[in-house]
Amino acid sequence: MIPLVKTSLPPKEILIHKLEEVLYSGYIAQGEAVEIFERKFEEYIGIGHTLSLNSGTAALHIALILAGVKDGDEVISTALTAEPTNVAIKMTGAKIRWADIDYNTGNISPDSIEENINAKTKAIIVVDYAGIPVDVKRIQEISEKYNITVIEDAAHALGAKFNGKKTGNHFPFTVFSFQAIKHLTTIDGGALQILDKKLYEKGKLIRWFGLDKKLTRMENNIQLQGYKYHMNNVNATIGIVQLEYIEGLINKHVENGKYFDKHLKNIDGIELIQYYPNTEPSYWLYTLKVENRDGFTKMMADNGVMASELHKRNDLHTFLNDTQAYLPNLDKFHAKMVHIPCGWWLSNQDRQIIVEDIKKGW
């Protein structure tokens, strides 16, 4: 069965050597390797400061804290995402206010964001779902008009671009996940890309109990709530090696995605996702809207290819369903949504066969 997602690790002979070095170096906690990984990640993104962390969820939590989100506030978000996006909002005590999606793209609708803004709105989380960039331009305009901070959850969208610039360039906070099945894995891990240097320095305190690592314990004086969210040297070492291969890996996702864009056009029972102007997805998954989804996934499984919805719409979780949700576009979209594999593990022959199978119908 061709899987929907797959873990990518660097060649064994290269990674094992580096891992052995770090494991027996006597320093496996947060140290030099973490520093190197952060500076290399900054270079890869092209702007801002990288706060490496032990998960993307930690990155979401810190972003929300740095955006000033507190108990009693509201955060506008999308229900079409993995649960961590919205569970992180609940960690702050804030309520989730659901915005609808844009039926054409699956991403949060700028119009619906604007309709949902009220006096309690403290932040907006936007998700580049499945690797497809959000409507960056409109969301930037809304952020400026209402003076509300935007956090971009780019856990699915490392290397995706708007106006030629990668995710991480467009909003004050961008969240990345290095969990097992993402474009870049450090086994587990994450990063918060922060544009403002002062907030980055504050972020460093939050990730480490509120302690300043530049001072001794005796010199330290904790003044804010911190957590144990740091990345360690072992995960960072994997990240450093992974960065050597990331452009090539993402290019394979993009090539496969563009192949599907071209060859799955004009097929009965299929609607393709549209992309916003000047955006380039990094195609973590390939999302389709299909008639008779059960028939489609069965046909794909019969042909040895996994296809799935993958994510439950988050507003259906009792704990997350804070506010009345009238989400007609999500209702329509989610009834038809299915993901098919699109990643580096698909050969040219695999993708060709997938297209032929789909063209035969289901």
Residues at the interface with ligand PLP (CB under 6 A): 55-57, 81-82, 84-85, 127, 153, 155-156, 177, 179, 190
Nearer to ligand PLP, 57 or 121 (CB): 57
In the sheet that holds 337-340, the strands lie side by side as: 270-272, 286-290, 337-340
Smallest gap from residue 269 Cβ to ligand PLP (A): 28
- Residue from 349, 10, 20, 343 nearest 182 by CA: 343
CB of 264 to ligand PLP, least distance (A): 24
Which of 193/264 has CB closer to ligand PLP?
193
CB of 52 to ligand PLP, least distance (A): 12
Show the CA angle centred on residue 18, arms to residues 180 and 4, nearest 5°. 20
**C-alpha distance across the termini of the chain, in Å:** 18
Between 131 and 257, name the residue whose CB sits nearer to ligand PLP. 131
Q: Least CB distance from residue 129 to ligand PLP, whole Å?
A: 7
The smaller minimum CB distance to ligand PLP, of residues 239 and 358, is found at 239
For ligand PLP, which is the closer residue by CB, 57 or 149? Answer: 57
Instruction: Report the residue closest to ligand PLP, judged by CB.
Output: 56
Among residues 190, 250, 233, 257, the alpha carbon closest in space to that of 50 is found at 190
For tokens 């695999």, what's the residue? 350
Residues 6+ apart with CB under 8 A from 259: 351, 355
172, 179 in Cβ contact below 8 A?
no
Compute the distance between CA of residue 121 and CA of residue 95 in angstroms, rounded to an integer.
Answer: 9
Residue type, 179: Q
Q: Measured from the CB of residue 262, what is the shortest distance to ligand PLP in angstroms?
A: 27
Min. distance of Cβ 66 from ligand PLP in angstroms? 17
Closer residue to ligand PLP in complex, CB, 113/299: 113
Q: How far is CA 27 from CA 30, 33, 36, 95, 233, in A?
A: 8, 10, 14, 41, 7
- Nearer of residues 154 and 325 to ligand PLP, judged by Cβ: 154
Return the ∠ at Cα 110 (arms to 107 and 114), rounded to 5°. 140
User: Minimum Å distance from CB 55 to ligand PLP?
Assistant: 3
